[in-house]
Structure 1
């Protein structure tokens, strides 16, 4: 394509295409924001207090965007949230992006660093200030853009600048290593060990009563210590803390039974083939790993289960049907969703007839599929989405706008037959996501307000310590110079009388504090 082009022409093509890409991103975000407005209006027409709807306008829009762009649910929700924030909070910055005068990376930084700003007048001032300068940031580093946005936010709304927090406030434990805060638990495990550790931590963390005040992440973090000590995780709710309950024993903790599912071809299990296997909830694993796990595993032949007429008219599937559907689907069957089948519900494609089960909606593999709770609710409570299940397990989805999407069972691509989750009818859980987000923002702003003077004092002390050490080193160098020229004779100069003092330590004790700063005069003396 570019064989006859000069290097300068190639660079020009790269720059022009990058500018056009920014324009396309701006156009896409404008379309997403408009779709969100329409879906929100539809939700409000169905329920005046739409903040507590089961399937909100944001969730409806995220589902359509995920299907159209083949995105995971979390990525699609983030895209919709960014489009909404850019459209409602930074319209002038969005205009600069749509004109191609800045890039999406820079706009993402602006959205991230200003997400705690809530005052409309402050947002308007930031929009005007940042849109006027963002076009000049093309050659800036990410850190420089961060500092510029933070400086603008700090000048208008200091509480919106995130302050460093203590490690205790960020307690977490993840089997897949992540870094966050000043302390982290980090490790790399083999697939089997990772699933076993994750299962045990989840069992310990979920073993406390629902009134425990800790979040799930904090309970998982505390469960690591409990697992290492061989005891169960103690509940911290007032009722359990004040009750005279005996301390947990080692036998109770070891009673946690771990079950993991591995799917493999028969030739791989017998050692006459090297086709990879699949570890449920983790992914594809090598044949050698499969054979190593087979040594202490219970083997089952995975086949399409035969469902008697009596069982197919029950809402809950049998264990064999559940296992087969999970292994067949491997993930949620909604377009773009990759949540593991083990964390999904089993959904009846043709709804189960609770009044007269003999009239259809049977509980059989060809009428069941895996849907995560989010998309199970969407399909159940949003009449805009429709699905049809084909005999081979393929699902044909039709969106509210009439677009069609096909999703095939993941297990069929790896093995000739595959499998299922417990069928749980989704419950109507009403939440106001906007109010919850506003409360989290208010808590973060209050925490920033509290931490700001603490961190400022810590920075002042650290700077003073560095200066004191440098001063001592400099004075010791002066004493060495005096010793070199005059030996042990003292200097008689009226200046720098400290040069005759003994050598000073060039390290400071941990509790060293700088002298207090002199009071600032109320008025200038001149």
Structure 2
């Protein structure tokens, strides 16, 4: 943290001439720290705040951290809970008491740790206590983990809105016929897709062409453009009927199972109702590989005859590769097949040509191809989906060419930084590999994310000739209009003062004279 603080202090100062200068210096430093520490830009910016606070506001806490007497997490919580103290003398007093007790806080829970810090903040500066506000201020929507094509979404709503929401999705879920294979909860979940497409009904999946609810499109597959990138082989996959409805029932324990045999790694075959059979040598093909393709300790049916046992089973066929819904992880092939079956259009990408396009803005085909190749912002450690990014000429136009080998996707932050932050430059290879050079001369590489998910697909485009990259000049930031009212330090001070004012009632109660 203190190394980060030193780097920040050498790069950033609040005394720049313009607001844009200070913001560019802060974000440029955050980008360098993000690359060096292999973290996101937001985490790097937060580490800069923590490091500066330890170096300039809380030297005793920093000393405990350097000596290994407290953990980094405890130091972070101390910085956070004391951030609203603006009087240096009060801060020094609070820090002295905290530093004396902090070495015993290692086993505390998060809530108890915050309370232990707040005891001293509240004693000397009640207006600086960081309180949990009314729960309604915490309402929002969060996209959580995505696994096997299913994404968890967390909603925090007011009670009235939650009642309306539940009433709506339940009514939509019950609007299909009784032959729909999905459970009520599955239909409630699918109703969100229809709502997202702008529809208030759910299409029935009973498969009956005479069903009136099946004839109405709910827009989940046909109305809204959602880019799912996949290999051509995935388009031949079939929907999985077991994705809907209740889970299959386990076998009846009382049912005879004499036709089931357990096969162990050494070849021993054990009928579930009999004694172990002697191990037999595994048959091999001409190339020495096993003739059978089965997992060890798997459950298999006993062959009915010797001829059947002698037959070589069919080779294992790999499953179709999944698709990628950028920002939400992998989409299994059966889910993509189900979308196509419901009317989702399939559009094949057009590979870029050999010659550059003779204009500044890329064509729709080039934009789509570059988006599919990159999948995310190309700056290392940035996961912004490419469809929300901007097409960037690696060598600035007009010297740079509008071509797949000379352009990539950058999010707005990193596109702005590459263009206006002093000392930054990048170069690009025909396969999409980006080499980024920082103002201090450090280099980092970034490869297209599609190479991780589709390693067999060749995304290399034709080479082009461009001038060597040149670093962004220092004064370029001054050529853009000012759109911020406060620099980084003033914005932080404004937030602290606003939060302190929210504690006016608490301070008045704390300072109320007796009788209480």
* 3-state secondary structure, aligned to 1:278: strand
Which has a greater percent of helix? 1
Residue 384 of structure 2 corresponds to which residue in structure 1? 339
* Contact in 2 for aligned 1:65/1:76 (Cα 8 Å): yes
1:358-373 to 2 correspondences below 5 Å: 360-373=399-412
Distance 1:110 1:305, change over 3 A: same
Conserved in 1, the CA contact under 8 Å of 2:435 and 2:443?
Answer: yes
Deviation at 1:380, TM superposition (A): 0.8
Contact 1:165 1:451 in 2 (8 A): no
For 1:166 and 1:257, locate their aligned partners in 2 and report how far apart those are by CA, in whole Å: 39
Assess, with a 3 A threshold, how the Cα gap between structure 1 residues 98 and 228 changes in structure 2: closer, same or farther.
farther
> Aligned ranges for residues 307-318 of structure 1 at < 5 Å?
312-318=357-363
Q: Distance in 1 between matches of 2:100 and 2:157?
A: 34
Contact 1:54–1:429, Cα closer than 8 Å, also in 2: no
Q: Distance in 1 between matches of 2:354 and 2:191?
A: 35
Q: Could you report, residue by residue, the CA deviation over 1:459-506 in whole angstroms, capped at 9, with x for unpaired residues?
A: xxxxxxxxxxxxxxxxxxxxxxxxxxxxxxxxxxxxxxxxxxxxxxxx
Deviation at 1:164, TM superposition (A): 4.1
Match status 1:294 vs 2:357:
no
How many equivalent residue pairs?
363
User: Who is 1:374 aligned against?
Assistant: 413
Say whether the 8 Å CA contact 1:122–1:157 is kept in structure 2.
yes
Give CA deviations for 1:359-415 in whole Å, capped at 9, x if unaligned: x31111111111111111111112322111001000011112221111100012222
1:396 maps to 435
1:30 is aligned to 2:2 = yes
In the aligned structure 1, how far is the partner of 2:132 from the partner of 2:515? 32
Structure 2: tracts of 5 or more residues without a match: 145-152, 167-184, 202-219, 239-318, 461-476
Partner Cα distance (1:400, 1:140) in 2: 42
Q: TM-score, normalised by structure 2?
A: 0.63
Query: Which of 101, 107, 110 is 2:78 aligned to?
Result: 110
Q: Decide whether aligned partners of structure 1 residues 405 and 151 sit closer, same or farther in structure 2, where only a CA change above 3 A counts.
A: same
**RMSD of Structure 2 on Structure 1 (CA):** 3.7
Q: Tell me the equivalent position of 2:116.
A: 148
- Superposed CA offset, 1:177-196 (max 9, x none): 45779879799999x96995
Residue aligning to 1:268: 234
| 1:76-475 aligned within 5 A | 76-176=44-144, 177-178=153-154, 258-271=224-237, 273-295=319-341, 296-306=343-353, 312-353=357-398, 360-415=399-454, 416=457, 430-431=483-484, 432-450=487-505
Separation (CA, whole Å) in 2 of partners of 1:283 and 1:128: 47
Deviation at 1:145, TM superposition (A): 2.3
Find the aligned partners of 1:343 and 1:84 in 2 and give their Cα distance.
Answer: 32
For residues 189 and 376 of structure 1, the distance between their equivalents in structure 2, rounded to whole angstroms, comes to: 41
TM-score w.r.t. the length of structure 1 is: 0.61
Cα distance, 1:196–1:62 mapped onto 2, change above 3 Å: farther
Is the CA contact 1:366–1:389 (under 8 Å) kept in the aligned structure 2? yes
Structure 1: runs of 5+ lacking an equivalent: 1-28, 202-226, 230-253, 354-359, 420-425, 457-518
Q: Which region of structure 1 is more displaced relative to structure 2, 387-396 or 404-413?
A: 404-413
